[in-house]
Amino acid sequence: MVEKDRGFQIGINIVMILITVMCLAPFVLLIMSSVTDEQALIVNGYSFFPKKLSLEAYHYVLADSTSMLRAYGLSFLVTIIGTLCNLVITTLFAYPLSRKELFGRGFFAFFLYFTMLFSGGLVPTYIMWTRMFRIQNTFFALIIPGLLMSAFNVIMMRTYFTTNIPEAVIEAVRIDGAHEFRILWSIVLPMAKPILATILILVGLGYWNDWTNGLYYINDDRLYTVQVLLMNIQRSMEAIKQSMQQGGQAVTGAINMPSTAVRMAVTVMCILPVMIVYPFVQKQFVKGIAIGAVKG
Amino acid sequence: MQKAFKSLRRSWPLYLMMLPGIAYLIINNYIPMTGIVVAFKQYNVRSGLYHSPNIGFKNFEFLFKTNDAWIIVRNTLLYNLAFIVIGTVCAIIVAILLNEVKSTAAKQIYQTVILIPFLISMVVVSYLVFAFLSDGNGFLNKTVLPAMGKEAISWYNSPQYWPFILIFVNLWKGLGYNSILYFATICGIDYSLYEAAIVDGANRWQRIIHITLPSLRSTIIILTLMSLGNIFRSDFGLFYQVPMNSGTLINVTNTIDTYVYRGLTQSNNIGMTAAAGLYQSAVGFVLVFASNIIVRRIDNESALF
């Protein structure tokens, strides 16, 4: 029995290791390509075991290219501002919805749910943002459309409030004459840290990874986030050469630009912050997925 | 009325709190909903969304006369069906395997690693795929195929491979996410059931068949129903970024979402594009609504509304 069990454990662990290798292999190929010498890359293609290593691409991306650093900074800015605004709006919406005595609660809940059922679609949305609000090529285009509040997160947070914060506690401080904003700030929020952390992670990841707003509303290269920069590099290699030349220092470098490795280096830089943060928030993240999924 | 007034006097701060959220929903969601009227209009920029001339269902007539209408609906439905079936089966297998792993450290590592592909954007995924499939430098063309003594393949010009590539990429990206959903359910199974089964002499296989799978039943049904509700919506990034918008692949990569985007940016026929979008929204609405009603019957807790 024990022998059989050991064999079984070895078997399933091998299968699981194969699966994890499959999950990681593309990333390894990416990182290896980013440190491959450009000539070696042209001769041998992308390879897990590069013939000749070179950090040229990173040197180029970090030292010579202003567009990369600018995009990087903008990505952080968009992620931080967007996530904070989103958290505030989401919390302020979810808390009243969790209060049973709120008059018209059913109506507001429906008002929220309906946006998950039906959407106007891309065409009216695009026309509205560009013609009514003239949002194209502004910083707001990266923050506001589609990302500022998700009905889904509001529901998740409201459910957390109703199930984890006893009404009796709120009632008690209310009778003491505490203001609603005061109750939310000093009673409810401290008790809601886990859900706040979960939503913070989900929303932050959403902002960092977003490229659709950039695709729809941005064509000014000063407003490229890393994702948008990557997307546009892919769309035309010429575009980056130009934007890097406009950066100034890279004019001479552009002729021998280690283009393939640079693309891979930018991609590595793009996923790096996520990979650094992920191990620390992995538990919260998994929990968020597990709660969220059952709710949609 | 009296009640409303009283409530308002007491809880106006609550309404004030909701104001930004409601304003956002109106702008981000409800105004575009009113904009669907453009599907019934001959849109021109000067008259705008609401004042362009009405042409009734002409946009829909034009749309359904094109070959594209059939192709985009077919692609959207078939890909989603394949994603649901393959994704669910693989996720359940991985969840069960994960549960059978004894070492907690190993379990933790597997769980952490298989979720990594879920964390990256489709733009990054398209770069990863490109590293394997690129014509001149790709890992497959430069290393794998030569090693097998085969000719290089121009992947981005060979539509016959793309259904498999897209299904694989989707599976790769979503496997960790989906398996964690099932794994969470498995973790919730009462362990005494397994102990009783062991006492009764059930082997591992029998325990999986008779305890684990039946316990997953309602999760499987609910998640599948929800995916079916979204079967008319496609992952724009997967179908637009990953094939690198390659023209030769259009027949196997064009879905409703990519069609609408291309229509919006490339064609002059905004009305017809909006008609495709409205068609998607309307059918999607019915499907999501219906799937939710069924889900609510099965498990009230899991339903959206």
Give the per-residue pLDDT at A244.
Answer: 53
Same domain, A126 and A168: yes
In this prediction, residue A107 has a pLDDT band, given cuts at 50, 70 and 90, of: very high
- pLDDT of A235 higher than 60: yes
CB interface of B with A, residues 180-219, below 8 Å: 180-181, 184, 204, 219
Q: Which of B9, B22, B26, B28 to probe by mutation at the A interface, max A CB count within 10 Å?
A: B28
- pLDDT of A241 higher than 50: no
Chain mean pLDDT for chain A:
86
Give the per-residue pLDDT at B51.
Answer: 84
Same domain, A6 and A83: no
- The answer to whether the CB atoms of B180 and A290 lie below 8 A apart is yes
How many helices (H) and strands (E) in chain A? 16, 0
d(CA A216, CA A123): 11
Same domain, A12 and A80: no
Query: Class for domain B55-302, per CATH?
Result: mainly alpha
For residues B248 and B155, the answer to whether their CB atoms sit within 8 Å is: no
Domain count along chain A: 2
- The answer to whether the CB atoms of B102 and A15 lie below 8 A apart is no
CB interface of B with A, residues 259-278, below 8 Å: 260-261, 263-264, 270, 273-274, 277-278
Does residue A268 lie within any of the structural domains?
no
Does residue A262 lie within any of the structural domains?
no
Does residue A29 lie within any of the structural domains?
yes
Q: List CB contacts of A182: < 8 A, sequence separation 6 or more.
A: A173
Nearest to B123 among A16, A111, A211 (CB): A211
Report the candidate in B261, B260, B239 with the shortest Cα–Cα distance to residue B250. B239
Give the per-residue pLDDT at B305.
Answer: 66
- The answer to whether the CB atoms of A211 and B121 lie below 8 A apart is yes
Q: Which domain holds residue A144?
A: 65-257
Q: Where are the domains of chain B?
A: 55-302
- The answer to whether the CB atoms of A27 and B128 lie below 8 A apart is yes
More confident residue, A205 or B1: A205
pLDDT digits (tens, 9 = 90+) for A4-23: 678 889 999 999 999 999 99
Please report, for residues A87, A131, B122, the alpha-carbon distance to residue B277 in angstroms, rounded to integers and kept in the order given: 30, 19, 22
Helix (H, G, I), strand (E, B) or coil at B213: helix
For residues A229 and A69, the answer to whether their CB atoms sit within 8 Å is: no
For residues A227 and A270, the answer to whether their CB atoms sit within 8 Å is: yes
For residues B25 and B258, the answer to whether their CB atoms sit within 8 Å is: no
Same domain, A241 and A96: yes
Contact of B255 with chain A, judged by CB distance below 8 Å, is answered with: no
Please report, for residues A125, A138, A247, B209, B234, the alpha-carbon distance to residue B239 in angstroms, rounded to integers and kept in the order given: 21, 27, 33, 36, 8
Size of interface A-B (CB pairs under 8 A): 287
Same domain, A119 and A214: yes
Mean pLDDT of A193-211: 93
d(CA B236, CA B273): 15
Contact of A59 with chain B, judged by CB distance below 8 Å, is answered with: no
Structure tokens at A158: 């409201």
Give the per-residue pLDDT at A242.
Answer: 44
Same domain, A86 and A199: yes
Q: Which of A122, A132, A181 to probe by mutation at the B interface, max B CB count within 10 Å?
A: A122
Does residue A15 lie within any of the structural domains?
yes
More confident residue, A134 or A288: A134
Nearest to A117 among B143, B264, B288 (CB): B288
Same domain, A18 and A72: no
Q: List CB contacts of B271: < 8 A, sequence separation 6 or more.
A: B38, B39, B40, B41, B42, B43, B52, B55, B58, B59
Does residue A278 lie within any of the structural domains?
no
CB interface of A with B, residues 103-142, below 8 Å: 103-104, 108-113, 115-128, 131-133
Burial of A143 (0-12, 13-18, 19+ CB in 10 A): buried
- The answer to whether the CB atoms of B25 and A211 lie below 8 A apart is no
- The answer to whether the CB atoms of A95 and B111 lie below 8 A apart is no
Q: Which of B6, B18, B63 to probe by mutation at the A interface, max A CB count within 10 Å?
A: B18
- pLDDT of A104 higher than 50: yes
Residue of A nearest to B224 (CA): A296
The DSSP call for residue B53 is P
pLDDT digits (tens, 9 = 90+) for A141-157: 999 999 999 998 999 89
Same domain, A230 and A144: yes
Tell me what ipTM this predicted complex has: 0.90
Give the per-residue pLDDT at A247.
Answer: 55
Contact of B300 with chain A, judged by CB distance below 8 Å, is answered with: no
Does residue A282 lie within any of the structural domains?
no
- The answer to whether the CB atoms of A46 and B138 lie below 8 A apart is yes
Same domain, A179 and A240: yes
Residue B31: list chain A partners with CB under 8 A. Answer: 120, 124, 128, 132
Same domain, A92 and A198: yes
Give the per-residue pLDDT at A249.
Answer: 46
pLDDT digits (tens, 9 = 90+) for B253-282: 999 999 999 988 887 788 889 999 999 999
Q: Which residues of chain B have pLDDT under 50?
A: none
Q: What pTM did the predictor assign?
A: 0.90
pLDDT digits (tens, 9 = 90+) for A18-76: 999 999 999 999 999 999 888 888 888 888 988 888 888 888 888 877 888 899 999 99
Same domain, A242 and A135: yes
Same domain, A97 and A143: yes
